[in-house]
């Protein structure tokens, strides 16, 4: 996809996979359709023109951290084809905020910036102590905001030690306060979203929702991967985040609870493989959807299959 993104004839071929338009307006942004590519697929923003050509209504790059980091030792991503699932423990491997910002600047300078919204998902650098996490996120925000149509604060990956502790009320409020104070000096202000974990109980979800509302967060993403591997018996001793079909039920339960307890729009992610699973997300209250593992297993024709679910 990186190679293809630089070749106009190749992009023209990819456009054969584009689904019919289903425009949506959300966060003050225009989406040609409600299907996005979830973070984790294009961590460094190397293939954005290709994702647009394939027909995604938006793309979310990252997770990007302030510091470059190689991620966890290999092997670190595993397929479980029978269960239509993946387990990854990538560990926020990425080129770092400076390198990603420079890459995006070149894309824009060459006139190849996409017409679809581009989100940037930011996370904590592994080397930074959890007590200094807010400043680390703030550093990434400052370097990347120029190139983001929206920014996602990732506090829910299971593959960075202690990261999920940032979902606790006191830590989350401090993090959101600092970033929104900087965002207030950004012209125009960027919509901020928060990506949450599927293991959260109702009390924790309510606290997160209240914090997001209090700090004028634009929306949430439900959910990240799960550390519950019980759906894959031969992977119970495996570490990392599980995605794909086994995540559908729990991620949809979280989505439904959040949608019932806030008026903030929620982007659904987790277990979307076909039109039926898309309808389940929409029935639970999703405003947009993102796909990742389903795209790996089903391929680029999946978008055309999903669009009819939106009516």
> Pseudo-torsion of CA 242, 247, 250, 254, nearest 10°?
80
Determine the Cα–Cα distance for residues 8 and 114; give it in Å rounded to an integer.
Answer: 13
Determine the Cα–Cα distance for residues 264 and 273; give it in Å rounded to an integer.
Answer: 25
Nearest Cα residue to 266 out of 280, 253, 255, 250: 255
Give 93-96 contacts, CB < 8 A, sequence gap 24+: 93/43, 93/69, 94/43, 94/44, 94/62, 94/63, 94/64, 94/65, 94/68, 94/69, 95/44, 95/64, 95/68, 96/64, 96/65, 96/66, 96/67, 96/68, 96/69
Nearest Cα residue to 127 out of 63, 195, 42, 66: 66
Catalytic site positions: 157
The tokens describing 7, both together, are 């070749």
Determine the Cα–Cα distance for residues 156 and 167; give it in Å rounded to an integer.
Answer: 7
């Amino acid at each position: 996809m990186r190679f293809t993104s630089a070749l106009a004839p190749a992009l023209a071929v990819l456009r054969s996979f584009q689904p019919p338009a289903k425009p949506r307006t959300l966060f003050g942004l225009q989406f040609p359709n409600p299907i996005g590519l979830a973070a984790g697929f294009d961590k460094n923003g190397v293939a954005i023109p290709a994702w647009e050509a394939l027909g995604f209504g938006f793309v979310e790059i990252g997770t990007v951290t302030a510091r470059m980091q190689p991620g966890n030792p290999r092997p670190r991503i595993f397929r479980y084809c029978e269960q239509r699932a993946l387990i990854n423990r990538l560990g926020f491997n990425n080129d770092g905020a400076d390198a990603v910002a420079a890459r995006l600047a070149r894309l824009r300078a060459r006139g190849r910036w996409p017409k679809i919204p581009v989100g940037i998902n930011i996370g904590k650098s592994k080397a930074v102590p959890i007590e200094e996490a807010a400043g680390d996120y703030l550093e990434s925000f400052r370097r990347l905001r120029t190139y983001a149509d929206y920014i996602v604060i990732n506090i829910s990956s299971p593959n960075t030690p202690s990261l999920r502790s940032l979902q606790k009320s006191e830590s989350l409020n401090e993090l959101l306060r600092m970033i929104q104070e900087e965002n207030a000096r950004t012209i125009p202000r960027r919509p901020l979203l928060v990506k949450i974990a599927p293991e959260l109980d109702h009390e924790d979800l309510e606290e997160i929702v209240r914090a997001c509302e209090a700090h004028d967060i634009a929306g949430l993403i439900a959910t990240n991967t799960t550390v519950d591997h019980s759906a894959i018996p031969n992977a119970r001793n495996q570490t990392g985040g599980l995605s794909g079909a086994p995540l559908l039920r729990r991620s949809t339960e979280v989505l439904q609870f959040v949608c019932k307890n806030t008026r903030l729009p929620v982007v659904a992610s987790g277990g979307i493989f076909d039109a039926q699973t898309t309808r389940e997300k929409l029935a639970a209250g999703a405003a947009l959807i993102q796909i990742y593992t389903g795209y790996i297993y089903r391929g680029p024709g999946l978008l055309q299959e999903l669009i009819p679910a939106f009516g």
